[in-house]
Amino acid sequence: MGRLEGMALEPLVDGHGRRIADLRVSVTDRCNFRCQYCMPAEGLPWLERDEVLHFEEIERIVRLLAAMGVGDVRLTGGEPLVRREFPRLVAMLAPLADDLSVTTNGYLLERDAEALVRAGVNRFNVSIDSLQRDRFFEMTRRDALPRVLRGLEVLAGFPEAHPIKVNAVAMRGFTEDEVLPFARFAREHPYEVRFIEFMPLDADHAWTPDSVLTGDEVRALIEEHFPLAATPREPHATARVYRFADGRGSIGFINPVSEPFCGDCNRIRLTADGKLRTCLFSLNETDLRGPMRAGATDADLEHIVREAVWRKELKHHVNEPGFIQPARSMSAIGG
């Protein structure tokens, strides 16, 4: 898999010698949740329909990148499951990717899990920030926890979708009370819970360094009750994974703020409107939609992609004075 029609191009590398192998594709900027750390309560001005890449355009870019060795493809948004005919897009991309995953808030999983697994998704990340209904509502501005948990259960019924990851954003003043319920959840279910440090990608610009509950702080709270044992970090991994010392499940920490993992970052992103981003925190992006719609050949596109990737940022500057938050929020970038 991964190389259609036997086409193989030179690997895609950046100017710091990192080989790019992972693509995050935002399939829509729209979302049915309004999470505090991402979107304003009233939503954002959505892209016009024609601004959003068509399935064939996404497929073309994925195919080109696959030929350059980008085999890991994650579909995200916005909320990917709100994109009409999303399983059809999955079926188009599955033959091109070595690993095809989806990040979702889970609201539509009850409806779509089976179609997505059948279409070729082999890994899922489901975002859940609280296991208490009222606090879930407070964070997402949607009273949807029971429905999300039902979706997760439906998904768990497909062994080919395991292991399932459950991601919780860690925010000071909120997540401390969630830590133990999530630790128990990870011990009692076939889910790997991962805490993601709150990043300055919120549309409300409410992020401050102090609002981040760090992975180390979360881990200390867990270890008061359940001892943990570190597992070796996989190359290019975003998460530091720990096993519960008694062997009952594992838990992960994604610490982009307190422990950046830019050094071996192999990821690039494609926004729903066809812009290539080489870092979550990029201040520049490279348009692929315009050239594609103006008749660019694959060789033209390859050249544009290689030029952009060559300039991939060495690291983010979140912890430095003068850090500038990108104009787009996480939902518009594709987290």
Residues at the site binding ligand SAM, with contacts judged by CB under 6 A? 31, 37-38, 76-77, 79, 103-105, 127, 167, 169, 196, 198-199, 201-202, 330-331, 335
Number of residue whose CB is nearest ligand SAM: 335
Q: How far apart are CA 47 and CA 35, in angstroms?
A: 19
| Minimum CB distance to ligand SAM, residue 79 (Å) | 4
* 101 vs 103 by CB, closer to ligand SAM: 103
| Minimum CB distance to ligand SAM, residue 296 (Å) | 28
Contact by Cβ (8 Å): 122, 160: yes
Q: How far apart are CA 331 and CA 34, in angstroms?
A: 10
* 79 vs 302 by CB, closer to ligand SAM: 79
* 38 vs 155 by CB, closer to ligand SAM: 38
In sequence order, what are the residues at sequence separation of 6 or more whose Cβ sits closer than 8 angstroms to the Cβ of residue 117?
155, 158, 160, 161
* 31 vs 64 by CB, closer to ligand SAM: 31
In sequence order, what are the residues at sequence separation of 6 or more whose Cβ sits closer than 8 angstroms to the Cβ of residue 36?
138, 139, 140, 141, 202, 204, 206
| Minimum CB distance to ligand SAM, residue 34 (Å) | 11
| Minimum CB distance to ligand SAM, residue 31 (Å) | 5
| Minimum CB distance to ligand SAM, residue 139 (Å) | 9
DSSP 8-state secondary structure symbol assigned to residue 64: H
Q: How far apart are CA 242 and CA 11, in angstroms?
A: 32
Torsion angles phi and psi, residue 185, rounded to 5: -60, -45
* 76 vs 130 by CB, closer to ligand SAM: 76
* 266 vs 329 by CB, closer to ligand SAM: 329
Please state, in angstroms and as integers, the Cα–Cα distance from residue 68 to each residue in 9, 61, 65, 305, following that order: 5, 11, 5, 10
* 63 vs 194 by CB, closer to ligand SAM: 194
Contact by Cβ (8 Å): 331, 105: no
Identify the sign of the CA torsion 36, 40, 41, 46: negative
Q: What number of other Cβ atoms are within 10 A of residue 40's Cβ?
A: 13
* 315 vs 325 by CB, closer to ligand SAM: 325
| Minimum CB distance to ligand SAM, residue 310 (Å) | 27
| Minimum CB distance to ligand SAM, residue 293 (Å) | 26
Contact by Cβ (8 Å): 79, 33: yes
- The full DSSP string for 196-263 is EE--S--TT----GGGB--HHHHHHHHHTTS-EEE-PPPTT-SEEEEEETTSS-EEEEE-TTTS--GG
| Minimum CB distance to ligand SAM, residue 254 (Å) | 8
Q: How far apart are CA 287 and CA 270, in angstroms?
A: 9
| Minimum CB distance to ligand SAM, residue 25 (Å) | 11
* 64 vs 168 by CB, closer to ligand SAM: 168
Q: What number of other Cβ atoms are within 10 A of residue 300's Cβ?
A: 13
